[in-house]
């Protein structure tokens, strides 16, 4: 026992020192470039290495599956039933045609067989619901060595399991503490920095400093998540007095956009750590924070946003009109509120690559802390950001049409499906207007239009 003691403490000391040195070096290597906006390209190299390993892993699994003669992939990405994309009118006409031998003229009438159309459509939606699919994480086609994305990849050899185990070790024991340390540094610098800047008198120097403090801290947070972002068309970046509109996948979207530009944030005042950060940020430059009670009052919200936008010295507002997090395969309906203000809209499309880590926040499944932990134990967050050219509302367009136009542009650029549905559907009941449309279409078939009726 006595012989072990000095030996023990020596090893422990060496370990402690080397770990500290390692950590400090890494922090310096990562934080200093973040401050100056310089990149060494380490993350891109990391990404390439990971891709090679994933490709190897997939090959091994395919080989294993072939040996056992089973199917490896579940081909249900786009729905599990065969659907015909025909309209209500066409389908009902077809049903009637197949049922009666008499020649079909266009006189409006009712047939008992019409019910089959609604019946089948209803059953189809129960079997394969288009909306709910958008609220579960996207399924991958090859495995990325994270057990959380392993849905149906069963044929894993010993080598692969060892590799996976190594991956777990690296992610949880090396990357996670590093990332937490970086995040902590980033957030505390933000709070301290903005508070200090807040003491300066208003003027150009204060603006300059506040912009750079914000930027620096966001860049550190980006490295805390190992986010590898590719920005396209940076010449279209939002300017003062504008509104920046983007599709929403997770709270990380804010960090991704704000690390490449200067924005004013909009949001509800929270308690706890978020509240502290919010109060500190607003000291350095004007952000728009609403109390809980104010959020319900649409006119108040619109008024404050309009005031901010009209002041050209204030930064562009960053807003997510979908209102909720979507799983990044589609864009859901934009709420029209922000499009009524009359500011220039700068659309931004964000598309994540799910191979390295799924950034989608399923708020009904995970809380914020669990979500952040999951983010920090993924390999990396890889995404592309496209800055689209600015759009303004045209004279004969109303807010809803303008919102839809912007939405289509974002969906097209990001390669996402442009959906009509409201993201709030995952929580609320559907509005009756959609049902009325179906009823209108059907009524035309059985009684005809108003003009026909008055004639007969």
Partner 1 sequence: MVNKRPCYCYLFPFGLGHSGVHNPLEAGQSPADLQQIGALAVNPLGDRIVDSFFPDGNHRVDFPGFVRVLAHFRPVDEEDPGMRDPKQPEPLNSRTNKLRFAFQLYDLDRDGKISRQEMLQVLRLMVGVQVTEEQLESIADRTVQEADEDGDGAVSFLEFTKSLEKMNIEQKMSIRVLK
Query: Which positions lie near partner 1, rule CB under 8 A?
Result: 75-76, 79-82, 95, 98-101, 109-110, 112-132, 135-136, 364, 421, 425, 429-430, 434-440, 442-443, 446-447, 453
* C-beta closer to partner 1: residue 9 or 438: 438
Taking the C-alpha atoms of 51, 55, 56 and 59 in order, what is their torsion angle to the nearest 10 degrees? Answer: 170
DSSP 8-state symbol, 329: S
Q: How far is CA 342 from CA 268, 294, 391, in A?
A: 22, 21, 11
Question: How far is Cα 341 from Cα 44, in angstroms, rounded to an integer?
Answer: 40
Taking the complex as a whole, the smallest distance from the CB of residue 222 to partner 1 amounts, in Å, to 32
Q: Which helix (H) or strand (E) holds 228?
A: strand 227-232
Taking the complex as a whole, the smallest distance from the CB of residue 445 to partner 1 amounts, in Å, to 10
CB 92 within 8 Å of CB 114: yes
Q: Which helix (H) or strand (E) holds 347?
A: strand 344-353
What tokens does 158 get?
């010993």
Q: Give the residue from 438, 436, 435, 433 showing the smallest Cα distance to 400.
A: 433
DSSP 8-state symbol, 250: -
Taking the complex as a whole, the smallest distance from the CB of residue 119 to partner 1 amounts, in Å, to 6
Taking the complex as a whole, the smallest distance from the CB of residue 101 to partner 1 amounts, in Å, to 6
* C-beta closer to partner 1: residue 121 or 232: 121
Taking the complex as a whole, the smallest distance from the CB of residue 367 to partner 1 amounts, in Å, to 14
* C-beta closer to partner 1: residue 169 or 447: 447
Instruction: List 290's β-bridge partners, or say none.
Output: 268
* C-beta closer to partner 1: residue 111 or 353: 111
Per residue, the 3-state secondary structure of 417-437, as one string, reads EECCCCHHHHCCCCCHHHHHH
Q: Which helix (H) or strand (E) holds 167?
A: helix 158-169
* C-beta closer to partner 1: residue 39 or 438: 438
* C-beta closer to partner 1: residue 253 or 422: 422
Taking the complex as a whole, the smallest distance from the CB of residue 142 to partner 1 amounts, in Å, to 21
* C-beta closer to partner 1: residue 69 or 101: 101
Residues near 207 by beta carbon (within 8 Å), at least 6 away in sequence: 285, 313
* C-beta closer to partner 1: residue 168 or 425: 425
CB 350 within 8 Å of CB 411: no
Q: Output the CA angle 81-84-88, nearest 5 degrees.
A: 125
Taking the complex as a whole, the smallest distance from the CB of residue 126 to partner 1 amounts, in Å, to 6
* C-beta closer to partner 1: residue 1 or 82: 82
Taking the complex as a whole, the smallest distance from the CB of residue 434 to partner 1 amounts, in Å, to 4
Contacts 24+ apart (CB under 8 A), 116-120: 117/88, 117/91, 117/92
Taking the complex as a whole, the smallest distance from the CB of residue 92 to partner 1 amounts, in Å, to 10
The residue behind tokens 């019946």 is 119
């Amino acid at each position: 026992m006595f012989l072990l003691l000095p030996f023990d403490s020596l090893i422990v000391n060496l370990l402690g020192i080397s770990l500290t040195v390692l950590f400090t070096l890494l922090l310096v290597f990562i934080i200093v470039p973040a401050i100056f906006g310089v990149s060494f390209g380490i993350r891109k190299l990391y990404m390439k290495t990971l891709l090679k390993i994933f490709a190897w892993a997939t090959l091994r699994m395919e080989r294993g599956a072939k040996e056992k003669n089973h199917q490896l992939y579940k081909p249900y990405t786009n729905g599990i039933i065969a659907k015909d994309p025909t309209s209500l009118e066409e389908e009902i006409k077809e049903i009637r045609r197949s049922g009666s031998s008499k020649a079909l003229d266009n006189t409006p009438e009712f047939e008992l067989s019409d019910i089959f159309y609604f019946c089948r459509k209803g059953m189809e939606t129960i079997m394969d619901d288009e909306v709910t699919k958008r609220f579960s994480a996207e399924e991958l086609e090859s495995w990325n060595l994270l057990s959380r994305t392993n849905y149906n990849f069963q044929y894993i050899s010993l080598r692969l399991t060892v590799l996976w185990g190594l991956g777990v070790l690296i992610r949880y024991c090396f990357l996670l503490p590093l990332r937490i340390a970086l995040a902590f540094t980033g957030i505390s610098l933000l709070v301290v920095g903005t508070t200090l800047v807040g003491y300066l008198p208003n003027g150009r120097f204060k603006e300059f400093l506040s912009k750079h403090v914000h930027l620096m801290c966001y860049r550190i947070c980006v490295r805390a998540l190992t986010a590898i972002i590719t920005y396209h068309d940076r010449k279209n970046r939002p300017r003062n007095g504008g509104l920046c509109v983007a599709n929403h996948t997770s709270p990380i979207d804010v960090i991704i956009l704000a690390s490449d530009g200067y924005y004013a944030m909009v949001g509800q005042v929270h308690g706890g750590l978020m509240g502290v950060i919010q109060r500190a940020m607003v000291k350095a430059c004007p952000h728009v924070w609403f109390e809980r009670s104010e959020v319900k009052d649409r006119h108040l919200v619109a008024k404050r946003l309009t005031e901010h936008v009209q002041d050209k010295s204030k930064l562009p507002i960053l807003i997510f009109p979908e209102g909720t997090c979507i799983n990044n395969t589609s864009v859901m309906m934009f709420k029209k509120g922000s499009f009524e203000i009359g500011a220039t809209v700068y659309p931004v499309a964000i598309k994540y690559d799910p191979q390295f880590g799924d950034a989608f926040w399923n708020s009904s499944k995970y809380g914020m802390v669990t979500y952040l932990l999951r983010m920090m134990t993924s390999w990396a967050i890889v995404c592309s950001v496209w800055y689209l050219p600015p759009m303004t509302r045209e004279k004969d367009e109303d807010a809803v049409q303008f919102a839809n136009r912007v939405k289509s542009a974002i969906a097209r650029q990001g390669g996402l499906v442009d959906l009509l549905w409201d993201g709030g559907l995952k929580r609320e009941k559907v509005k009756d207007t959609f049902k009325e449309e179906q009823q209108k279409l059907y009524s035309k078939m059985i009684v005809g239009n108003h003009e026909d009726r008055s004639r007969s």
